[in-house]
Amino acid sequence: MFQIPRRPRRNRRTAAIRELVQETTLSVSHLIFPMFVVEGSGIKSEIKSMPDIYRFSLDTLLEELKEVTDLGIQSICLFPNYPEDKKDKLATESYQQGTLYLQALSTIKEKFPNLTLMTDVAMDPYSSDGHDGYVENGQIINDITLEILGKMAVAQAKAGADIIGPSDMMDGRVGHIRSVLDAEGYTDVSIMSYTAKYASAFYGPFRDALDSAPRFGDKKTYQMSPANAREALVEAQLDLEEGADFLMVKPALSYLDIIKLLNDTFDVPIAAYNVSGEYAMIKTASQNGWIEGERAMLEVLMSIRRAGAKAILTYFAKEVAQVQNG
């Protein structure tokens, strides 16, 4: 019989050996939990297209955060849901003092000072047009948008944000935001740029959560084509030169090659957003008994880490923490 000189199965023989040689790790410290805040009180409203994910009023959000932080989750990203009567073409609600989102940020920072607080910078939650940028005659006007995003970023930093997350995909927004933050003295506030944000079909449940779908057209003039990989290198190089501290890929699961490409090319932390549609697919399949939900969840997140993501925004963060805490 042929003598087999090397037997890789030896390193898979027992659970202890498999853990000993494991190449990639996944822990709660790698995860950022996206959460949603709405006006009102006593509200905990499940998002139908995102099972087990809720919109919270500030009072119930604070209660939830106690449980979240007790589980060991160290970072969240907060998104606001605004009623239509608070939206306008200039997204003025995004930077006026005392508004829902800014009040929520400052209260969270006061109650949970050690929690890393990431924010979203884009016009769509506040815009009557539902787009990430300023709309004029049916066109997204890049440079006018930058001025609005800068005001938004400064207001969020003032409210206690640790990481600013520009998700708009306007040209030059990282440089403009870095400039205004520094000018206002917020040099320690980080920027996690949505560097390669694709015009994806996987965002639907998130738009349900925020009621922020575009009122006309689509977002293909500013979000990237799913067909393009090399373009991500251009966006990443620009964001890095403009002052980004993290480069993010969104979505994650269909763009593992982009995560790896950026991680192999740039010497800064790469983040990835395991988006709402990816989450909903696993949750729905699990609820119907088609897959083992917990195993699929961990496998997907491990694949994102294996591709090179140092940080993962995921709606599974709380479930992972519960699994790892036993």
- Helices and strands in the chain: count of H runs, count of E runs: 11, 12
Is 235 one of the annotated binding-site residues?
Answer: yes
| Token digits of residue 263 | 């991680």
What are the two backbone dihedrals, phi and then psi, of residue 109, each rounded to the nearest 5 degrees?
-65, -35
Asked about 250 being catalytic, the answer comes back as yes
Q: How far is CA 59 from the centre of its chain?
A: 23
Which candidate, 167, 147, 165, 144, places its Cα nearest to that of 156?
165
Cα dist. 96→41, 74, 84 in Å?
21, 28, 16
Is 209 in a helix, a strand, or coil?
helix
Pairs from 40-45 (Cβ < 8 Å, separation ≥ 24): none
Q: Which of 197, 219, 283, 318 is catalytic?
A: 197
The DSSP 8-state label assigned to residue 303 in this structure reads: H
Asked about 151 being catalytic, the answer comes back as no
Q: Which of 86, 151, 219, 250 is catalytic?
A: 250
5 cis-preceded (ω within 30 degrees of 0): no
Query: In whole angstroms, how large is the CA radius of gyration of the chain?
Result: 20
Cβ burial, residue 109 (10 Å; 0-12/13-18/19+): middle
- Which residues, 6 or more positions from 259, have their beta carbon under 8 angstroms from its beta carbon? 249, 252, 270, 272, 304, 307, 308, 309
What are the two backbone dihedrals, phi and then psi, of residue 156, each rounded to the nearest 5 degrees?
-70, -40
Evaluated on CA atoms 266, 196, 49, 162, the torsion sign reads: positive
Q: Please give the annotated binding residues for Mg(2+), written as ranges.
A: 235
| Residues marked as catalytic | 197, 250
